């Protein structure tokens, strides 16, 4: 399924729905991207629905940045030496889900990301299981 079709179907914020969160902290969690720019594209967001970076409390921000740090470490463990950390803030920054989140994406140039948007596809359950297994293997070490 194309990501744009998925977006038309959703009725609730996907980050506020119960989901496989991979690494859950008290106020935030790290997860995989359902419609990735890269197969190992990770996301970090708050548990509470906050639409702007400025709506986050200090504890939420601190926890999220710890998880961004962990996400970068996970990608390094996967063998990537380069990654981009992206947070889209505001209505005109190209975000598709209003709930503020950080993207941590290996081997991609930021200029390529928005051009790729129309081609983004939702991951299959098989791909999701593979990604979760890979992340869990790294964080157990
Ligand atoms: Zn939300």
Contact at 8 Å (CB) between 32 and 42? yes
Q: What is the pLDDT of residues 9-27, one digit of tens each?
A: 888 999 998 777 888 889 9
CA of 49 to the centre of ligand 1 (A): 4
CA of 40 to the centre of ligand 1 (A): 22
pTM of the model: 0.89
112 pLDDT band (50/70/90 cuts)? Answer: confident
CA of 14 to the centre of ligand 1 (A): 6
Which residues are close to ligand 1, an ion, with C-beta < 5 A?
13, 15-16, 49, 99
Parallel, antiparallel, or unpaired: how do β-strands 42-46 and 83-87 relate? unpaired
Question: Which residues in 60-82 are b (16+ Cβ under 10 Å) and which e?
Answer: bbebbeebbebbbebbeebeeee
Report the pLDDT value the prediction gives residue 81, as an integer from 0 to 100: 92
CATH class belonging to 12-140: alpha beta
Parallel, antiparallel, or unpaired: how do β-strands 83-87 and 101-106 relate? antiparallel
Give the closest residue to 51 by CA, choosing from 23, 13, 103: 13
Residue 29 phi/psi, 5° resolution? -150, 160
The rounded Cα 2 to chain-centroid distance in angstroms is: 17
The rounded Cα 137 to chain-centroid distance in angstroms is: 19
Mean pLDDT of 22-38: 91
CA of 94 to the centre of ligand 1 (A): 17
Report the pLDDT value the prediction gives residue 1, as an integer from 0 to 100: 84
């Amino acid at each position: 399924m194309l990501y744009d079709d998925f977006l038309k179907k959703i009725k609730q914020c996907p980050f506020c729905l119960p989901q496989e969160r991979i690494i859950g902290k008290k106020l935030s969690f790290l997860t995989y991207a359902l419609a990735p720019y890269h197969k190992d594209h990770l996301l970090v967001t708050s548990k509470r629905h906050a639409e702007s970076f400025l709506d986050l409390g200090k504890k939420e921000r601190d926890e999220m940045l710890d998880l961004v740090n962990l996400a970068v470490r996970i990608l390094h463990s996967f063998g990537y030496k380069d990654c981009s950390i992206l947070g889209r803030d505001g209505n005109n920054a190209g975000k598709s889900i209003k709930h503020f989140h950080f993207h941590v994406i290996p081997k991609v140039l930021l200029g390529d990301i928005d051009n790729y948007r129309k081609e983004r596809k939702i991951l299959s359950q098989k791909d999701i299981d593979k990604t979760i297994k890979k992340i869990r293997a790294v964080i157990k070490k």
